[in-house]
Structure 1
């Protein structure tokens, strides 16, 4: 089923508004993170590492859905800043495990507070029922995109 647009103007269309919300959320995160010298991608990476201490670099790439080389670059920057440390896996010398440092742990708590603030800003004036419906609709969009993305990837691999 196609989405029927009521307005002709892209900015007022359902997809246009959705796109604007994504951009505004990114810019709001950037405003807050700029104060501590992080980019939103770095903050997300640090959050995952803080939640999954000892995660491998390859696992990070899969969780974040980005290329391993990109993860390596981000890790090097966070390591240089003293937020994380890497250790070779004792059982498999080819695997590099990533951990937060004490400074990184403190920063992770601060980041959690920032993102909770953004979440509150985004969803203020929503009822619990509206949030449940909104979540269901977003999950459906995600499923739709995953389905078509996976089909396209399968076609490329054949």
Structure 2
């Protein structure tokens, strides 16, 4: 399929693939994947989030997210604790090493996103963001 065909699914898929490829290359030097970075980013924003809520936010099942968390735990980047109120719930936190790595990788990922945004106008960026939100809402319903 040619990019000029304008098939939205193809264009979205291709943009995702290329963005993930670039993110993978950038994060490789830090020993983490884009998916692992996404978890570090979320935990930086929401310390103590449950594993279940994290899985829902990332659109993954708990088993898949659990495997990724296990890898991050083995790297000493994430700490899992049992909730004292609901013993079935697992609460997630960044370790000090995880916070340090996140602080190191955040500017790198911001740079990647900045490179994308710099290629379109601020108005175009706002329009693209709004359209992607609408698409996500439509596909989630």
Regarding TM over 0.5, the answer is yes
Distance 1:19 1:88 in 2: 37
Aligned to 1:3: none
Answer yes or no: is 1:54 the counterpart of 2:48. yes
Distance (whole Å) between structure 2 residues aligned to residue 144 and residue 92 of structure 1: 34
For residues 70 and 86 of structure 1, what CA distance do their matches in structure 2 show? 15
SS in 2 for 1:131: helix
> Which region of structure 1 is more displaced relative to structure 2, 134-143 or 23-32?
134-143
> Of 12, 18, 30, which aligns to 1:18?
12
Q: 1:146: how far off?
A: 2.1
Q: What are structure 1's unaligned runs of at least 5 residues?
A: 1-8, 148-158
Question: For 1:38, what is the secondary structure of its paired residue?
Answer: coil
Q: Distance in 1 between the 2:56 and 2:15 partners? A: 26
Aligned counterpart, 1:125: 119
Deviates more, 1:136-145 or 1:24-33: 136-145
Structure 1 residue 18 displacement after superposition: 3.3
Q: Which runs of 4+ in 1 moved over 3 A?
A: none
CA-CA distance at 1:51 after TM superposition: 1.2
TM-score (norm 2): 0.90
Name which of 75, 78, 88 aligns with 2:72. 78
Give me the whole-angstrom Cα distance separating, in 2, the residues matched to 1:131 and 1:72: 34
Relative to the length of structure 1, the TM-score reads 0.81
Are 1:111 and 2:105 counterparts? yes
Unaligned stretches of 5+ residues in structure 2: none
Larger Rg: 1
Relative to structure 1, the CA distance from residue 18 to residue 70 in structure 2 (aligned partners, 3 Å threshold; closer, same or farther) is: closer
Q: Does 1:27 align with 2:24?
A: no
Q: What value does the CA root-mean-square deviation take over the aligned residues? A: 1.5
